[in-house]
Structures are given as structure tokens and as C-alpha cells.
Structure 1
């Protein structure tokens, strides 16, 4: 059994197509198919049920796939660790970024890291803080920037607090609230709001603040994309509660201080169990480059 055969099996399983898997692996389809069949003969089981139009994992394939992935990850880690011992950082680096990062200059950090360590393959992932924490704990992600409500630090991962922020109400320039300097949540609870999906940490901080104020609000738009949030605000449709740094200098919007508004804490998080050389080097890049404010 060879690592290359495992790579082919993983590619076919993920692409559900031998042609696309061959293109992804940069090999002719006949060679990929031959190696998959050779592995099936060695194992004595069929890994895929296939016709000319359809490819699916068999029960044996479902059982084999996670171990194949784990073997490939171990081999890549062994290569990266050996290179690191010789002074070269290699391997992969998977980074999670919430859509509301303000504490880290992510483009500058990535540019500095890539210039210094071009052999590292970088994968950026968007999403929410909870899924990032779970991915780091499971070994599927190396580093992430998290945004969590005050008093709820991440658990199960190593972390460093970057910054604490108080939210402001963000409205369109023509919105009636635009001329106010400071309001309470009770004064704006009847507005139409845009926020992150329910049960996400990005939403929780605002929900908790309204609950603490003893008032109820309706969220009419649930959005994960900050660009869409800003456009909805700019068109006067909604009010958003955001960290002020996210909208500093953005045309067409105004901010209003909140007397009892929510707060959040941004964290830099990474695996507390055997972090990869690439992960540790990226963390040092952020720290030494002054790219994280805290």
C-alpha cells in the first residue's frame, strides 16, 4: 500500500469522479484508475461502486477513507517536522478567519509569512468561532482568529486575547438615528436588524446584551458576509451592531454609541497539543511583526 494510492482514493472520494480526481492529482485517468484497482486487489475489497456516470464509496471505502486521510496527514507532518529540524518550514497551514476580524492585519501577516516561508501551502477558511475551535481541537485547523462574547473564552485550545471592543449601532447616513450621539438598546429595539445566524458567537453577544437590557428585538436578516451587511445598512434597510473598527471610513454609513451595547473579545487560537512548525512560525510572525493589537 503506497501513499500515492491513498491520495488517489481520497481524491476520488471527494470529487466523486475519476476524471476530476485525475486532473486534481495531475495524472492521466488510466494511471489513477489502475492504482485504485491495484489497491482494491491488495485489500481484497471494493472501495468504490462505479458506473460510467456515477461513483460512490462502498461500505469498505467509507471505513478506509478516514484512515487514509490520517495516514496522509501523518506523512505530511513527518515531512514538515523533518524539514523544520533542518531549518526549513514546510507543510500546510490552515487558518480560520471570522468575517469581523479587526485585531489582526490578516493580509499583512499572510504576506510576511509567505515571503519568509514560500514552501508552506496556506489554506484560508471562513466561518464561525465555534466551528473553528472544534476544527482546531480535531486537528483540522492550525490557527484561527475568534470573536466571542465577554466572559466566554475558548476552551480546549491554546489562545491569546487580542482586543476587547464595545459595539456601536451602524446605520445608513439618512437613517433617523444617524444624527444621534448615544442611545440605549431599549430605544432601538423596534428597528429592523441584520445580524449573524442564530446560535453563532457573532450573534450571541448582541442577543445577550438585549436580554440583559430586558428588551426584545427582531432580526429580519441573517447574514454571514460583511459586504452584504454593509450594503443592507447603506441602503437604509437595517441597523447592525458591530465593532467600530469594521466600519471606520466606510462611506454611506454612520455610527451611534450604545450606552449598554454588547462587547466582544477577539482571540488568536491554536492547538495546545503538538502544534505544527508552520503554525508556531505563523504565530511568531503575527507577534513579532506587530500585526496583532491587544
Structure 2
């Protein structure tokens, strides 16, 4: 059956008059009559009793009416949802953010994006590199903000946002406060707090092996807020990206010999077509100034 035939039938249910129903549907009366006749043929029964001054629904018509009302309601809802999606009104957008990425730089962008695109409903999903990669491939998220110590591979496209150094983090009063940088040869002698969620963890821990020094690990945690709290409490040092530091009172210095860094990138599945909300997010990411201007 055709949607216009359903519309004609429901208009007749309200008007119970072919002329008034035709006016309501903005068509001629013969066209409305023909449409209802076709619907009756397809359904296999008479929908209306056509009496001179008393047209009314048959029992069959009353049985069918709620089903066709539901079809029209669902069709209208689908059309409304499609319009909202395409024209960025209540359009969903799911963004993954690696747990090791601090909020300070990214929230600057989000503030501008939400101000300029109030119709986009943004959902943020935290995860590790492996978890976000799986969610990208399955379609559970549209894009992901990832810190990449090395390229992801051919399944993904990565748009570079900014570079970020790894730094040694320590409490106020530590002997490193007077240093400009900290070589790994010295850092490996310090008690260490292990960041289990760090995507460069293997590269960091490798330094103890290379310097033939036993790792003295006082604590391990998946959560950066706990790691920073433990460092503040004096349990040891940690290595983390410079823009991920959020706890007041922490001190940090650049690592050296070797230096470690990562590229923070916007990652998508290679070749996958963007939805309108995803395309707008990518466009705004490209136009955003990720590196703030130098201070006066």
C-alpha cells in the first residue's frame, strides 16, 4: 500500500465525508475516492459504508484504522528524525577519548564546538587505545581522540592535532625542582608509580632494562587522577604526557636521553563515509588552533 492511500483513509476517518476529506488532503474528490478504493482492494475488504448522508467506517475499517495510524505515526517520526540528523538538530555524535588524554586542551575546542553547533548531541566515551580502536571498527563511536606514540596502521586515518612530550612528574620539594630536564639514566633510580593505561608504557619501562636497573614500583593504577594523587603524597615519580597533568601542586620536567613524545590525533576508520554531524566535527577540528599563541 502507498503512504498517500493511508493518508486518504485516515482523513476520511476524521471527516467521514469525501468532499471534506479531499479538501483536507488538497486533492480532488475523485482522486481521494480512487485512492481509498485501491486501498480496499489491497486489504481485501470494504473500509467505509457509503450512504448518502451517513458515510461511516465498517467493522473492517475500525479494525484496520489503528494499524494504519501507527504506520503514519512511525513514518512521521522517521521523517522528523531524518531531518534532525541531516540538518544537525538533535544529531547524535559519539566521540571516543583515550583515558590518558587530559581535558585542558580538548575542552577549549569542545566549548567552541558546542557553542557553534547547539543541535549536535555530543557523547564522550573514554577508553584505551585498543578499546577505542575496536569501537571505531564496530561503529560504536564515530571518531576518536588518541595519543599515538606510533602509527596505527592501514585500517585508520589519523589527523594530527598537536604534539605532546612525556614528562617526569614529582611532588613539590623534590630534588628535581632545580633541574631543567631529567635524563632517564637518573630517573630509573627513583621510586616509580606505574601508569597502567599509558599507551607508551612499554617504551617507558624499557628504560629500566636498558640501564640495567631494578624497577622499584611503589604503586600501579589505571587512573591518572590516582597516579597524580600518589605522586603528590610522595610515594614516587611518574611519567605522563605534559598536558595530562591536572593536580594542583605537581611539578614536572622534560625527559631526556631519550626524549619521548606522542602525536594527539583525530582518528577515523579509513574509507568510511561521515554523517553530517561527524563531517561538521572534522571540519571544526581542522579549523581550530590547537597550539595556543605564546604569552606576552
Same fold (TM over 0.5): yes
User: Shift of residue 207 of structure 1?
Assistant: 2.8
Change (3 A) 1:179 1:122: same
Preserved contact between residue 103 and residue 244 of structure 2 (Cα < 8 Å): no
Work out the CA distance in 2 between the residues paired with 1:103 and 1:266: 12
Preserved contact between residue 77 and residue 276 of structure 1 (Cα < 8 Å): no
Work out the CA distance in 1 between the residues paired with 2:184 and 2:120: 46
Corresponding residue of 2:138:
138
Aligned pair 1:280/2:259, yes or no?
Answer: no
If you compute each CA radius of gyration, which structure gives the higher value, 1 or 2? 2
Corresponding residue of 2:251:
254
1:195-234 CA-to-partner distances (Å, cap 9, x unmatched) read 3227x52423423455555555344322233222222111
* Equivalent residue for 1:229, pick from 214, 227, 230: 227
Work out the CA distance in 2 between the residues paired with 1:292 and 1:268: 15
Change (3 A) 1:211 1:96: farther
Preserved contact between residue 170 and residue 253 of structure 1 (Cα < 8 Å): yes
Q: How many residues align?
A: 214
Corresponding residue of 1:43:
none
Work out the CA distance in 2 between the residues paired with 1:161 and 1:213: 33
User: Shift of residue 264 of structure 1?
Assistant: 1.9
Corresponding residue of 2:49:
none
Q: Secondary structure at the match of 1:162?
A: strand
Corresponding residue of 2:205:
207
Q: Which runs of 5+ in 1 are unaligned?
A: 1-75
Work out the CA distance in 2 between the residues paired with 1:241 and 1:205: 11
Q: Secondary structure at the match of 1:167?
A: strand
User: Shift of residue 281 of structure 1?
Assistant: 0.9
User: Shift of residue 186 of structure 1?
Assistant: 2.4
User: Shift of residue 238 of structure 1?
Assistant: 1.6
Work out the CA distance in 2 between the residues paired with 1:244 and 1:142: 27
Change (3 A) 1:284 1:157: same
Corresponding residue of 2:180:
181
1:59-116 CA-to-partner distances (Å, cap 9, x unmatched) read xxxxxxxxxxxxxxxxx9997765555x445431111112343698322332333333
Corresponding residue of 1:114:
114
Work out the CA distance in 1 between the residues paired with 2:253 and 2:233: 17
Work out the CA distance in 2 between the residues paired with 1:155 and 1:263: 22
Q: Secondary structure at the match of 1:237?
A: coil
Mapping for residues 78-157 of structure 1, pairs under 5 Å: 83=84, 85=86, 87-88=87-88, 90-101=90-101, 105-149=105-149, 151-157=150-156
Aligned pair 1:268/2:289, yes or no?
Answer: no
Q: Secondary structure at the match of 2:254?
A: strand
User: Shift of residue 172 of structure 1?
Assistant: 0.6
Q: Which runs of 5+ in 2 are unaligned?
A: 1-76
Change (3 A) 1:214 1:94: farther
Q: Secondary structure at the match of 1:264?
A: strand
Change (3 A) 1:92 1:171: same
- Tell me the TM-score normalised to structure 2 length: 0.61
Q: Secondary structure at the match of 1:201?
A: coil
Answer with 128-137 or 160-169: which moved more. 160-169
Change (3 A) 1:161 1:153: farther
Preserved contact between residue 77 and residue 91 of structure 1 (Cα < 8 Å): no
Work out the CA distance in 2 between the residues paired with 1:129 and 1:219: 24
